[in-house]
Amino acid sequence: MPHKYASLKMRQIRRNPNQPRETFNEDALQELTDSIKEHGLLQPIVVRKVEGGGYELVAGERRVRANELAGNITIEAKILLPEGDAEISDAESFKKAMAENLNRENMLPLEEARGFKKVQADEGGATPAEVAKILSKSVPYVTQRLALLALRPEIQAAVDLGHIGTQAAVQIAALSKDNQKAVFEDWKKGDKSDNQLVHIAYAMRKQEKAAKQDSMVDVKEMSPEEKAQHARAQAKARNDLDEIERMCELLDGIGKADPMELARTLEGQVGKRLEQMERVAAFVQKARFQLRQAKAHADASEIMVNPNAAAPDLVAEADAVLAQLEAKADGAEPEMQAPADADAETERVALAV
Give the highest mean pLDDT range of 58-67, 130-139, 179-188.
179-188
Amino acid identity, position 147: A
| Residue 353 in this model has a pLDDT that exceeds 70 | no
Edge-to-edge strands, sheet with 45-49: 3-9, 74-80, 45-49, 55-59, 13-14
Please tell me the predicted confidence (pLDDT) of residue 313: 41
User: Do 75 and 10 form a contact (C-beta atoms < 8 A)?
Assistant: yes
Local confidence band at 151 (pLDDT 50, 70, 90 cut-offs): very high
Local confidence band at 96 (pLDDT 50, 70, 90 cut-offs): low
pLDDT one-digit tens code per residue, 17-68: 766 666 666 777 888 888 888 778 877 888 888 777 788 888 788 888 888 8
What percent of the chain lies above the pLDDT cut of 70?
A: 73
Please return the burial class of 171, using the count of CB atoms within 10 Å of its CB with bins 0-12, 13-18 and 19+.
buried
Looking at per-residue pLDDT, the higher value among 2 and 232 belongs to: 232
Local confidence band at 148 (pLDDT 50, 70, 90 cut-offs): very high
Please tell me the predicted confidence (pLDDT) of residue 31: 80
What percent of the chain lies above the pLDDT cut of 90?
A: 4
What pTM was estimated for this model as a whole?
A: 0.51
Alpha carbon distance 125, 23 (integer Å): 27
| Residue 317 in this model has a pLDDT that exceeds 60 | no
Looking at per-residue pLDDT, the higher value among 162 and 332 belongs to: 162
Please tell me the predicted confidence (pLDDT) of residue 343: 38
| Residue 262 in this model has a pLDDT that exceeds 70 | yes
| Residue 340 in this model has a pLDDT that exceeds 80 | no
Local confidence band at 312 (pLDDT 50, 70, 90 cut-offs): very low
Local confidence band at 136 (pLDDT 50, 70, 90 cut-offs): confident
Please tell me the predicted confidence (pLDDT) of residue 98: 67
CB atoms within 10 A of CB 325: 18
Local confidence band at 248 (pLDDT 50, 70, 90 cut-offs): confident
Average pLDDT over residues 235-243: 82
Average pLDDT over residues 279-293: 85
Please tell me the predicted confidence (pLDDT) of residue 220: 58
Local confidence band at 324 (pLDDT 50, 70, 90 cut-offs): low
Count how many residues are written for the chain: 353
From residue 251, give the alpha-carbon distance in Å to each of 46, 105, 244, 255, 296: 65, 51, 10, 6, 28
| Residue 336 in this model has a pLDDT that exceeds 70 | no
| Residue 292 in this model has a pLDDT that exceeds 70 | yes
Give the highest mean pLDDT range of 78-82, 100-104, 123-127, 196-200.
196-200
| Residue 251 in this model has a pLDDT that exceeds 80 | yes
Average pLDDT over residues 244-272: 87
Amino acid identity, position 100: E
Characterize 304-322 residue by residue with b for buried, 16 or more Cβ atoms within 10 angstroms of its Cβ, and e for exposed.
Answer: beeeeeeeeeebeebeebb
From residue 197, give the alpha-carbon distance in Å to each of 177, 182, 185, 200: 16, 12, 12, 5
Please tell me the predicted confidence (pLDDT) of residue 214: 53
| Residue 243 in this model has a pLDDT that exceeds 60 | yes
Closest to 114 in 3D by CA, of 89, 151, 63: 151
